[in-house]
């Protein structure tokens, strides 16, 4: 979607005003239903077709929408994979070739959409969110994947051409592994969606390791950067939850609703896909609770660290208070010749050493007392060796 921050101003020429008004309303809420909004930095659309049967599998790149139409009436299964949402003309032609409703095409192109299922007379439309782990395992990114299932074909539309989770499925089709080439297009839909669901597990594994590291950091050495890490983990887990939760509902809807395009055999496989989605949600909820608990542990650790500092300062102050008292008394300038009660210790031969000895004995006595009371024991948790 083009970023336009200019406001409407009076005094423009008629042509300029009409153009500005058109751009304004097409990109904001209230646009006409079925309006396609193409992102300015979207990659050009590329079409890759994989046509397969039990005997063979063919892969064709860089097809046009009209060339795809020749594969839709065959008995083989045609997987039309569209990567990139930057070519409005190509996407519009695909909508006409596959006879997509304008609102369906709008959901496919205007990303992101909430995962959902829509069943028509001769098509099943599914919207999913694919999560991919970044190469450095520092976070993830979400990408919308749209499915349009027909009797002998499956149309998929992806946002980015760089990566997806479908390479294992392509290899199974290419080498004829499993039963994918002996079943219809609905099994291909299940296989691709199952690959999307499976892609969440490595991400959760990475976040599980991050939470374990954060637990050690929170207890042993909490800093302000630790608080930022906890906050980021909580937000990212929330984003994952928003992506997977409606997908569970969408798969459940596909299981409940009756359609001839989903066979009874594939419904059994979809139940397994649903169970995996539920498992991911359970893991996410567990990690979110752990991340929320880390915040409480962080506050407790910071408070405990502050208590250690205050305890140390208190011990030092308590030891030096009597020393300050002694030094203050003997620092007063009394004249012993006026009265024998005016600090006779000032005239003692060993007065100064005795004063220092009294200070050392006082320090040692307080230190021994505090040690027996356990005040020098640290409450911090040390790492295991």
Quote the percentage of the chain above a pLDDT of 90.
Answer: 37
pLDDT band at 29 (very low <50, low <70, confident <90, very high): low
Residue 116, C-beta contacts closer than 8 angstroms, at least 6 positions apart: 126, 127, 246, 250, 253
Q: Are 49 and 11 in contact (CB under 8 A)?
A: no
Sign of the dihedral through C-alpha 82, 83, 87, 88: positive
> Which fold does the domain 40-183 belong to in CATH?
Beta Polymerase; domain 2 (3.30.460)
> Which fold does the domain 311-372 belong to in CATH?
Methane Monooxygenase Hydroxylase; Chain G, domain 1 (1.20.58)
Residue 10 to residue 68: CA distance in whole angstroms: 48
Please report the pLDDT score of residue 220 as a whole number.
79
Tell which wins on pLDDT, 85 or 326. Answer: 85
- Per-residue pLDDT tens over the stretch 102-114: 888 988 988 889 9
Give the residue extent of every domain in the chain. 1-31, 40-183, 311-372
Please report the pLDDT score of residue 285 as a whole number.
93
- Per-residue pLDDT tens over the stretch 297-355: 887 777 777 777 787 777 788 778 888 887 887 777 777 777 777 777 777 778 778 88
């Amino acid at each position: 979607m083009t970023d336009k921050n200019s406001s409407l101003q009076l005094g423009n020429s008629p042509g300029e005003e009409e153009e500005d008004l058109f751009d304004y309303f097409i990109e904001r809420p209230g646009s006409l239903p079925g309006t396609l909004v193409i992102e300015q930095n979207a990659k050009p659309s590329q079409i890759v077709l994989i046509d397969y049967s039990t005997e063979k599998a063919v892969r064709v790149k860089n097809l046009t929408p009209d060339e795809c139409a020749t594969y839709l009436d065959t008995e083989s299964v045609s997987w039309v994979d569209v990567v990139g949402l930057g070519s409005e003309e190509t996407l519009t032609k695909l909508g006409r070739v596959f006879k997509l409703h304008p609102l369906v095409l709008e959901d496919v192109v205007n990303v992101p959409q909430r995962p959902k299922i829509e069943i028509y007379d001769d098509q099943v439309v599914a919207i999913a969110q694919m999560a991919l782990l970044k190469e450095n395992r520092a976070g993830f990114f979400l990408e919308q994947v749209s499915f349009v299932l027909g009797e002998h074909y499956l149309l998929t539309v992806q946002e980015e051409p760089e990566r997806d989770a479908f390479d294992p499925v392509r290899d199974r089709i290419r080498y004829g592994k499993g039963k994918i080439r002996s079943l219809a297009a609905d099994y291909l839909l299940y296989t691709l969606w199952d690959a999307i669901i499976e892609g969440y597990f490595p991400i959760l594994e990475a976040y599980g390791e991050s939470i374990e590291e954060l637990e050690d950091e929170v207890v042993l050495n909490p800093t302000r950067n630790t608080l930022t890490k906890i906050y980021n983990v909580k937000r990212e887990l929330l984003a994952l939850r928003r992506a997977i939760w409606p997908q569970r509902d969408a798969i459940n809807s596909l299981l409940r609703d009756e359609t001839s395009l989903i066979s009874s055999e594939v419904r059994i496989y979809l139940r397994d896909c649903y169970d995996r989605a539920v498992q991911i949600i359970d893991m996410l909820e567990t990690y979110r609770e752990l991340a929320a608990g880390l915040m409480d542990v962080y506050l407790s650790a910071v408070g405990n660290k502050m208590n250690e500092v205050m305890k140390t300062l208190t011990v030092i102050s308590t030891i030096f208070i009597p020393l300050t008292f002694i030094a203050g008394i003997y620092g007063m300038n009394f004249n012993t010749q006026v009265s024998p009660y005016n600090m006779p210790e000032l005239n003692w031969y060993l007065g100064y050493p005795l004063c220092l000895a009294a200070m050392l004995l006082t320090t040692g006595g307080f230190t021994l007392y505090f040690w027996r009371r356990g005040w020098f024991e640290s409450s911090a948790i040390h790492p295991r060796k």
